[in-house]
Amino acid sequence: MVAISGEAARRRANAAEDPPNQRSPKEGAQDADPAAPARQSSIGLVTDSAAATQARRLLDGAVEALPEGRLVEQLAGGGALRVKLGIDPTAPDIHLGHVVVLDKLRAFQDAGHMVVLIIGDYTARVGDPSGRAAERPVLTEPQIAANAQTFQEQAFKVLDPDRTEVRRNSEWLQMGSDELFRLVRLFTVARLLEREEFSRRMEAGEPISILELLYPVLQGYDSVAVEADIEVGGTDQKFNLLFGRDVQDAFGQSAQSILTMPILPGTDGVRRMSKSLGNYVGVTDAPEDMFGKLMSVPDAAMGEYYRLLLGDRLDSDRHPGEAKRELARRLVGRFHGVDAAAASEERFDQLHVRREIPEEVGEAVVEASGPNGSVHLPALLAEHFGLSRSEARRLIDQGGVRIGGKVLEAGRFDLPATELDGEVLQVGKRRHKRLRVAQSG
């Protein structure tokens, strides 16, 4: 992993501070940080035909590459390109939706290029409105720092650390008001309001904060600071990626090309995969949880999962259940190993096919604290399964709770302790506890 000091990064970014009418490209080159590593290539000069072949391979699975033909020109130069991805650490874990983009970055690394992974610890305080109807909640600095560290560690489950330069944009965005004013004066509100999300919210009479308007400017300045040649992101990031070209151009840099990737639907098959929506599969999920979640993906979404995560085409004649099993086996095997994948499949069959109780079940000690020695089940579920009491009541009413293999009747929230002692309590499809009633006295 390549790391550059915050001071060196700041000097590099400050070298591009003045608008283009106040400095020439040659002056910018003279101002460059002498301590910064030179761009050395392990690729060598390539012919146009070789560049076109490499570009087709790198663009496989992408939605758009803009400007058209620009990537081929960049590859034909023969140098190792700097490929940027910016991620705001608003959640601690990487899920399979992130993997779609990370896999594309890994393809660039395998072709000899350098990935610049920008952890947006500063822009996370602003909030990216992409695909959102309102400004997202702002996290505390300790939350952002913890999420950033976890995200970086998990990214290396996909990326090659030796071809990854990790940066945090607080290195250059933690600027004074004079610097910020010099930056924002280069762009107009009219240009920023061209963003589709902002236009929709204006038409609906919904508020847009000044901070949200600043977000594309700040993200674009990231590209200036790291001298990005290419920026990769989801299709929802297209405006931000293109605006990054505007910011680089304003600072006299050669504008990056952009590459947009499809957005993976969540396990509901409808909305984008997101931890906040509860429809995600995390790369650090326990193997049995990952397997079970993937088996729950709707049949209609399987084609996208195969294409985006496996790089394969789904056989339309194949039974959906078998296709899901292969998907689950391959992804669990990728992140946890083939033995874990086999064990997860066996546990899935035990619980959902043979409907057997697992051999190893954790124990929950309960007290008969209710009237006539009863146990209040919503309180029990809240304590041992991490649910709220209202969630527990709703789950019981929906038939999602079993005791001793039998579905608990709707509205039955209190049971005699004698009916619970030694029985297995099942919540949902994958969570179990063997109940032991505490002895009084």
Q: Where along the chain do its domains lie?
A: 6-261, 287-353, 363-437
* CB neighbours of residue 371 within 10 Å: 8
* H-only helix segments in 286-337: 287-295, 302-305, 320-336
User: Which among 95, 87, 70 is positioned nearest to 144, based on CA atoms?
Assistant: 87
Ranges under pLDDT 70 in the chain: 1-47, 126-138, 357-359, 440-441
Alpha-carbon distance values, 64 to 67, 248, 305, 388 (Å): 9, 20, 19, 44
Q: What is the pTM of this model?
A: 0.74
User: Which among 106, 108, 112 is positioned nearest to 45, based on CA atoms?
Assistant: 112
* Predicted pLDDT at 2: 54
As a whole number of angstroms, the distance between CA 420 and CA 440 comes to 15
State whether residue 271 is helix, strand or coil.
coil
Question: For 21-64, how does the pLDDT look when each residue is reduced to its tens digit (9 = 90+)?
Answer: 333 333 333 333 333 333 333 344 455 788 999 999 999 999 99
As a whole number of angstroms, the distance between CA 61 and CA 190 comes to 33
Q: Tell me if 6-261 shares its fold with 363-437.
A: no
Homologous superfamily in CATH for domain 363-437: RNA-binding S4 domain (3.10.290.10)
- For residues 99 and 158, is the Cβ–Cβ distance under 8 A? yes
Query: Is residue 249 packed enough to be buried (19+ CB in 10 Å), middle (13-18) or exposed (0-12)?
Result: middle
- For residues 219 and 187, is the Cβ–Cβ distance under 8 A? no
State whether residue 414 is helix, strand or coil.
strand
As a whole number of angstroms, the distance between CA 218 and CA 131 comes to 18
* Tokens (6 digits) for 235: 């299709």
* Predicted pLDDT at 374: 86
CATH topology of domain 6-261: Rossmann fold (3.40.50)
